[in-house]
């Protein structure tokens, strides 16, 4: 079953990419008590993800925070080392990367996709959501191959 507006995020282990190395976090605890702009990409360093999705959140970070967002989080079915390197190469200190290396978060959300035709295996879909104290208040899931509703710009219009 796919997560919906009004649902509480599932509680699974994610791995935060930090300067000190990977740090395990529980999603249930991590998203508690703050308003988060969460975006998911099929893969770090992939074309649309690197050329459009992440740069949009880097560019609009101050505007999102001015509209009440406490933290901007990016996730993908990649390991914490890849997510950390991607943020270092293309992101900013305004973005927190949470690795979903085994796809547990994507699976628990019901937002997986089959990327095996491209050699990617099972990945998370491209989406964004606003999470307020662990509850999904906005959910923007892209159609396969699209990049429209999961953008930072679209999310700004929802705040």
- What the chain holds in terms of domains, given with CATH numbers, is 13-158 (3.40.30.10)
Cβ atoms 96, 73 nearer than 8 A: yes
SS3 138: strand
Least Cα distance to 7 among 131, 155, 136 occurs for 136
Mind listing the pLDDT tens digit of every residue in the chain (159 residues)? 789 999 999 999 999 988 888 999 999 999 999 999 999 998 887 766 666 778 899 999 999 999 999 999 999 999 999 999 988 888 789 999 999 999 999 999 999 877 777 767 677 899 999 999 999 999 999 988 888 899 999 999 999
Task: Please tell me which residue in 3, 12, 15, 49 is annotated as part of the active site.
Answer: 49
Q: What is the pLDDT of residue 72?
A: 97
Q: What is the pLDDT of residue 145?
A: 82
Q: What is the pLDDT of residue 47?
A: 64
For the question of residue 109 being annotated catalytic, the response is no
Residues with Cβ < 8 Å from 107, sequence gap 6 or more?
122
Residue 46, both tokens: 């992939």
Q: What is the pLDDT of residue 49?
A: 61
Q: How far is CA 123 from CA 31, 70, 99, in A?
A: 22, 27, 12
Q: What is the pLDDT of residue 21?
A: 87
Q: What is the pLDDT of residue 6?
A: 97
Q: What is the pLDDT of residue 86?
A: 86
């Amino acid at each position: 079953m796919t997560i919906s507006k009004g649902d509480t995020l599932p509680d699974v282990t994610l791995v935060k990419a930090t300067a000190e190395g990977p740090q395990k976090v529980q999603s249930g605890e991590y998203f508690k008590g703050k308003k988060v702009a969460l975006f998911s990409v099929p893969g770090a360093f992939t074309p649309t993800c690197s050329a459009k999705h992440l740069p949009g959140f880097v560019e609009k970070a101050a505007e999102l925070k001015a509209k009440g967002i406490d933290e901007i989080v990016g996730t993908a079915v990649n390991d914490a080392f890849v997510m950390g390197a991607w943020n270092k190469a293309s992101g900013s200190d305004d973005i927190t990367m949470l690795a979903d290396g085994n796809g547990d978060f994507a699976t628990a959300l019901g937002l997986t996709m089959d990327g095996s035709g491209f050699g990617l295996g099972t990945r998370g879909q491209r989406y964004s959501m606003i999470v307020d104290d662990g509850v999904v208040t906005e959910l923007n899931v892209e159609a396969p191959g699209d990049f429209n509703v999961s953008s930072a710009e679209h999310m700004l219009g929802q705040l």
